[in-house]
Structure 1
Amino acid sequence: MWEQRVEIKGPYHFELALDRLANDPLNHVDIPERTVKVPIYEPEPEVAIVKAVGTVEEPVFIISGRHAETKANVIKQIYHIFQWNIGLHAISDHFYQTSLKSIFETHRGTPIVQDFSLYSCLVKCIVHQQLNMKFAQTLTERFVHTFGFEMDGVWFYPSPEKTAELTVEVLRGLQFSQRKAEYLIGLSQLIASGEIRLTELAEKTDEDILNTLVKVRGVGPWTVQNFLLFGLGRANLFPKADIGIQNAIKKLFQLDAKPTHDEMDDFSREWEPYLSYASLYLWRSIETKD
């Protein structure tokens, strides 16, 4: 076993990050212990443990793992997943001068936490399309529990190679729709064959990624925006078609009806270049009783 102490610049509210992670039943989160177990997919599967030992204003973490030879890689991935290289202080200061001041004060230091792998992010995006959250999570759990694997109490998504070999009928047995099963298998086949290389795609611009992925059957702009935000951590994404964001804006600004896209454009101009954080905090504002 190895351990590494990490100090970052505050604010960084790890408990609020864990609270969001705990919404996904596949995540291994212990909020009282301020701990999360993270599946590391590359180069070989292993589990890292991240524990907070500091405060919101002075964040300190202990990362631990089993294999000393992969320590550097694990730490690099943890930094990316939890966005420890992003200074939230400057972002908070920006929003304190905008119409989102109140929710940024309430949820101060909430980071954008990335999905644990690019492939699992795309899988979730496809599964969650046009489903309510509860059933989408149930369907994702069934998929992972049936075709993925467990290590140290943590579930790993199956590889794209394994999913590519599945049949539509098998996924239909888990209550996937015909089309959703076809979409998931088709995407996985493109990744498994190397036609789509996610690590290379991650180096491209938002526009290039959009143009590449929307050519895939079953992948539309909403899926790509979520992939850019929660897979790659791009800072300036604002999915206007998202019902949650529409509801949050309606509530915050006491509108009689959900905002139109033009109204959302008007509201969001002052939030740039951090629209992804505006999106996150708007979601957060309707996820809690605050």
Structure 2
Amino acid sequence: MSPLPPSPRIDSAETIAGHIEVLVGMDRRLAAVRDFAGPVAPRINPPGFAGMAKVITGQQLSVTSAAAIWGRFAQLPGALDPVAYLTLSEEAVRATGFSGGKFRTVRAIAEAMVAGELDFDHLETLPAGDAVRYLIAHKGIGPWTAEVYLMFCAGHPDVFPAGDLALLKAVQHGLGLDARPAIKDMIGIAAAWAPYRSAAALLFWRYFAVMRDREGILL
């Protein structure tokens, strides 16, 4: 199958399905992963401060816990605006379930935006690698946070969060690997799926979810 040009945003089921079909043509091992996972839906959040705050909320938490905390945080007056966030007390934010570290990370992002040092509109004009480097230059933003933001808030078509544990487990199982790949090995595996790595990540997250539900275990 001839490669399709990457979509500017991987924000529709049709775009994702098209990218996955190209991936299967590039790597036949993904055919069984696709067939098992079934349809893959887009997961897009608002870009900018609110989107980054939501990604940070989900760091090192289960989906259920992150959703509960985000629900409370998003209802806090001023929480989704960088200028207003800076007026909130740590006590008020942490009452929603934020840790002290997450409160300070989001505050640092708000301060950088207000100072003009972090421009999310500019970020969307950068290639994935440059965009990750731009984000991780800011305190509290690591590679996973940057990559997840680019996928789910910027809709970038060529990002693979190689440090995500669920992805590492799913790739091991889905590709029949003897051991869970190390992050550096996962980066190498995913490099072969460029420029459609975001669709590959979404596919393996879906694969992980289906396997977990069917088997009742974590891979």
Distance 1:214 1:269 in 2: 20
The match for 1:162 is 84
The match for 1:251 is 173
Matches within 5 A, 1:133-212: 133-147=63-77, 158-212=80-134
Structure 2 letter corresponding to 1:284? R
For the Cα contact (< 8 Å) 1:81–1:116, is it kept in 2?
no
Distance 1:262 1:187 in 2: 28
The reply to whether residue 82 of structure 1 matches residue 11 of structure 2 is: yes
Matches within 5 A, 1:235-246: 235-246=157-168
For the Cα contact (< 8 Å) 1:191–1:197, is it kept in 2?
yes
Unaligned runs of at least 5 residues, structure 2 = 1-7, 215-219
Distance 1:176 1:90 in 2: 36
Secondary structure class of the residue paired with 1:142: helix
Structure 1 letter corresponding to 2:160? F
Aligned-residue RMSD, C-alpha: 2.7
Structure 1 letter corresponding to 2:11? F
Unaligned runs of at least 5 residues, structure 1 = 1-78, 149-156
Shift of 1:285: 0.5
Q: Which has the higher helix share?
A: 2
Structure 2 letter corresponding to 1:82? D
Distance 1:252 1:141 in 2: 33
The match for 1:233 is 155
The match for 2:217 is none
For the Cα contact (< 8 Å) 1:80–1:114, is it kept in 2?
no
The reply to whether residue 115 of structure 1 matches residue 28 of structure 2 is: no
For the Cα contact (< 8 Å) 1:125–1:223, is it kept in 2?
yes
Q: Which has the higher strand share?
A: 1
The match for 2:33 is 103
For the Cα contact (< 8 Å) 1:144–1:158, is it kept in 2?
yes
Matches within 5 A, 1:124-139: 124-139=54-69
Range 186-195 or range 108-117, more displaced: 108-117
Please identify the structure whose Cα radius of gyration is greater.
1
Secondary structure class of the residue paired with 2:75: helix
Distance 2:54 2:16 in 1: 28
Cα-to-partner distance string for 1:168-211 (whole Å, 9 max, x where unaligned): 22212223221111111221222234332211221123233223
TM-score calculated relative to the size of structure 2: 0.79
Shift of 1:120: 2.4
Number of residue-to-residue matches in the alignment: 204
Higher relative contact order (CA 8 A, sep 6+): 2
Cα gap change, 1:158 to 1:93, in 2 (>3 Å)? closer
Secondary structure class of the residue paired with 1:147: coil
Percent sequence identity over aligned pairs: 24
The reply to whether residue 213 of structure 1 matches residue 142 of structure 2 is: no
Structure 2 letter corresponding to 1:261? I
Of 80, 92, 95, 2:21 maps to 92
Structure 1 letter corresponding to 2:207? S
Cα-to-partner distance string for 1:96-125 (whole Å, 9 max, x where unaligned): 452111222445653544213332221112
Structure 1 segments of 4+ aligned residues over 6 angstroms from their partners: none
